[in-house]
Amino acid sequence: MHKVVIGLSGGVDSSVSAYLLKEQGYAVEAVFMKNWEEDDDEEYCSASRDVEDAKTVCDTLQIPLHTVNFAAEYWDSVFSFFLEEYRAGRTPNPDILCNKEIKFKLFMDYCLQHRGAEYLATGHYAQIEKNADTYDLLKGQDENKDQTYFIYTLGQKQLSKTLFPIGHLNKPEVRALAKKMNLITHDKKDSTGICFIGERKFKAFLSRYLPAQPGEIQSLTGKVLGQHQGLMYYTIGQRQGLGIGGQAQSLEAPWYVLKKDLDRNVLIIGQGHDHPELYHKQLQCKDLHWCRDVSPSLPLSCKAKIRYRHKEESCILQATEDAEIFSVSFQKAQWAVTPGQAIVFYQDRHCLGGGTIL
């Protein structure tokens, strides 16, 4: 009997994943991973509730539950980088780095080496396809929940030792299975917070770790329109929270963040969702990772998306004179290209890999 360790988060997806693995005849153990130490008066992180739900699920399914704490490693490998990126005016995606450095590295090693598992399983909406000696990462069957964007950094080693039990299901089917099996998580709300940190008032949370540096909000022509509270609190395309109110002799259209002038500590804004400065046909990226561990031939014609909830668009990926930097040209201009976010490449249902937007 093959032994599998399921990373049990206390949510419905991993709960149903554990059930399916047991139904498929695996010897299943669950591990709850804690990677953030909450304050005594923590209001937003639900780790204590999650672990209780995980215990209840394991009791229902009659599988053992273990716990492991990677809080120190999470701080060093993920959160410190997260802060550095915000300090530099970029908008990082900590979930991607968490999957790379914690879930599918430290946690995987723990499961395979210390718990004696043959495979690590998670509740991601993704699929793995084996062709000869190659493992390909495929989108989850549920296009609305597909999570390959967050796990594009997985390579052959990780894919060969990973199972995604719910990748062939859609979300309503997962919840229906959970309800049928009387799992306490069947109607639990999906988590939308920062990986392992939870759902928080983001500005207040970030201000604990980074000192704010207020500065001017300006139009493209240099007109001063207000004061920002720190460039780290804003992202390209942001509409809410600019705090400038109505402007005399201005159109009624809402204002959006167009760019950040880091050298002058100035936030530059413009009016209208379709402001031309928000659209770009080209971008540059770095730190490319390929799921097959080898780069495809460049230039590469494929599709890509520049954020999780974004439609894939046709593009061409090319090398530049700088071996570490790559250029992406889209057929259609992309809205709110954001430095620090990931660009992920696809061909049909295959996730090829991705990189970080410059």
Enzyme catalytic residues: 98, 195
Residue found by looking up tokens 């796990």 in the block:
151
Nearest to 90 by CA among 283, 342, 338, 279: 338
Angle at 94 between CA 166 and CA 143, to 5 degrees: 35
Q: Hey, how many other C-beta atoms are within 10 angstroms of the C-beta on 178?
A: 22
- Compute the distance between CA of residue 114 and CA of residue 67 in angstroms, rounded to an integer: 12
| Tokens 């040209």 belong to residue | 329
- Give 216-221 contacts, CB < 8 A, sequence gap 24+: 216/265, 216/266, 216/267, 217/242, 217/244, 217/266, 217/267, 217/268, 217/269, 218/266, 218/267, 218/268, 218/269, 219/268, 219/269, 219/270, 220/258, 220/268, 220/270, 220/277
**Exposure string (b/e) for 265-292, b if CB count within 10 Å is 16 or more?**
ebbbbbbeeebeebeeeebbbeebbbbb
Q: Which residues contact 21 (CB under 8 A, 6 or more apart)?
A: 4, 6, 28, 121, 163, 165
Structure tokens at 242: 């600019």
